[in-house]
Amino acid sequence: MVGQSASGFEGSATITGGPSRALQANPAVTHFRRAINDGVHWYLALLDAIGLWEEPRERFRGQDLQYLIGGEALDWLLLADRLCKELRQHLPRPELDALLFEGRAPLPLTTEEFRNRIGPLKYRCFLNYFYGVTVEQALFFALEEEGRRHVVANGSRFDFDPLHLDLYGAREQDLLEEFARDSRRVDAASFDVRQYDAYTYFLFKHRVAYCLPPRVASDTKRGLAELRKQYTAARRPVAFAGRPDGFLDGQELDLMTKTATA
């Protein structure tokens, strides 16, 4: 990529063809391989490789992979999975699966150590994804569950419009149409997981722009509480992926809000 962006990735070039990335001189992949060969713990080597990664998206082994949503939200586990595909045979499968599928890190790093490994700009992009996708989905789930409890008639269709109007200031169909126009996406019925993540981040930015800051903060805290509830129900440690200590502070929420409204 060419040129530095405020989000920590550069430009918006898309790799659309040519030899596979495994055959190219990719600094991140090269570092990852060398570090493993030198005896560095694979998780530390992976985080360092993420810090060296440049492309916001690429076509890899027949798949279109979008690591950076909206130019500012990093799906770091998708990128981690892509990097680990290069050296999967040299990595401990149980630890790798725990990281990719459950967000369980094999080493007890602090937030500062994690941030230093991937770099401050990519860490900001990580926070954008964490708040704008992971927490936003948990918030919507919590409010939907609450709304369904107030539906009187069993089997009646749940109306999502009041929920969308309250959170985002527009009806669901209007939001879907705006998202489709802005991103040239297909209709919601054909969303895949990555497209749904992009739509969730789009909704998150709508919420931050529509609601007053105190409401944004309280709703985000509610999303965090729901996420912790889900982790507890699944008997997972209440520490979020990339956040081994599970600690979140007000400064991060302020940073996230500023990014979303920029």
- Can you give the pTM of this predicted structure? 0.81
pLDDT of residue 15: 29
pLDDT of residue 224: 87
In DSSP notation, 138-182 reads: HHHHHHHHHHHHT--STTPPP--HHHHHHHHSS-HHHHHHHHHHH
Instruction: Report residue 153's pLDDT band, with 50, 70 and 90 as the boundaries.
Output: low
Of 112 and 251, the structure prediction assigns the larger pLDDT to: 112
Of 223 and 157, the structure prediction assigns the larger pLDDT to: 223
- Name the 3-class secondary structure at 69: strand
Beta strands per DSSP E along the chain: 57-60, 63-66, 68-69, 73-74
Average pLDDT over residues 95-106: 88
**What's the gap between Cα 85 and its chain centre?**
19
Q: Tell me which residue of 92, 100, 20 sits closest to 58, measured CA to CA.
A: 20
Q: Tell me which residue of 6, 27, 15, 100 sits closest to 56, measured CA to CA.
A: 15
Which residue reads 């994804």 in tokens? 129
Give the pLDDT confidence of 21-30 residue by residue, as tens digits: 444 568 999 9
Cα angle vertex 182, ends 222, 209, to 5°? 35
pLDDT of residue 12: 37
Give the pLDDT confidence of 155-194 residue by residue, as tens digits: 667 788 889 999 999 999 999 989 988 777 655 556 778 8
